[in-house]
Amino acid sequence: MDDSRYESLKVENIVASGVIADSIDLGEVSKKIPNCELNTKRFPGAVYRIEKPKIASLIFSSGKVVLTGIRKKEDLYEGLSLIVQSLKEAGVDTFDEPKVGITNIVCSYDIGRYINLNKVVITLNLENIEYEPEQFPGLVYRIKDPKIVALLFSSGKIILTGGKTIEDIKRGLDFLEQKLESIL
């Protein structure tokens, strides 16, 4: 599949998680780092937002971290190094090499034409499909390999989630388009 077919494929969010230290004193960190909020009554971790690149990070006392709101893979590494640097400056003994990896990529795609969701339900394997238009206007299609969940809307818009790489997302999209080819 040539890259022009992926023209409307857009990364909406990248989520990464992992470990950056053995332990973190969240009370100290939230006092020393601007834009780092701690409210243990509402959430067990600190929420640290950085503006450039725009990332929200959830930092836990166990040393684990979840980064979200990322739009480009390069921003992940840039943002992670800023977060680690801020934590070091706040007195946290971080790992020299943080063990953080991408856990989910969410993309949007426009197939460019109307999708008859009822026809998709009738034609495709029902065990991989959830469609209850009274509850939600999209059809949920679970692809086994690669393990991707696609939300299809009658407008032709598709949301793909669950991939750990953009290649997973593209393979899932290829599989989906192949299945839809006979229906549309």
CA angle 131, 111, 162 (to 5 degrees): 60
Under CATH, to which class is 16-102 assigned? alpha beta
Q: DSSP alpha helices (H): ranges in 90-165?
A: 117-123
Would 16-102 and 111-181 be classified into the same CATH topology?
A: yes
What span, in angstroms and rounded, lies between the C-alpha atoms of 169 and 160? 7
What span, in angstroms and rounded, lies between the C-alpha atoms of 56 and 13? 11
Q: Where are the domains of the chain?
A: 16-102, 111-181
Residue 153, helix vs strand vs coil: coil
What CATH number is given for 111-181 in this structure? Answer: 3.30.310.10
- pLDDT score for 156: 94
pLDDT tens-digit profile, the chain (184 residues): 456 778 899 999 999 999 999 999 999 999 999 999 999 899 999 999 999 999 999 999 999 999 999 999 999 999 999 999 999 999 999 999 999 999 999 999 999 999 999 999 988 777 789 999 999 999 999 999 999 999 999 999 999 999 999 999 999 999 998 888 877 7
Query: What pTM does this model have?
Result: 0.89
Eight-state DSSP code of residue 8: T
Cβ-count burial 125-164 (b if 16+ within 10 Å, e if not): eeeebebeeeeeebbebebeebebbbbbbeeebbbbbbbb
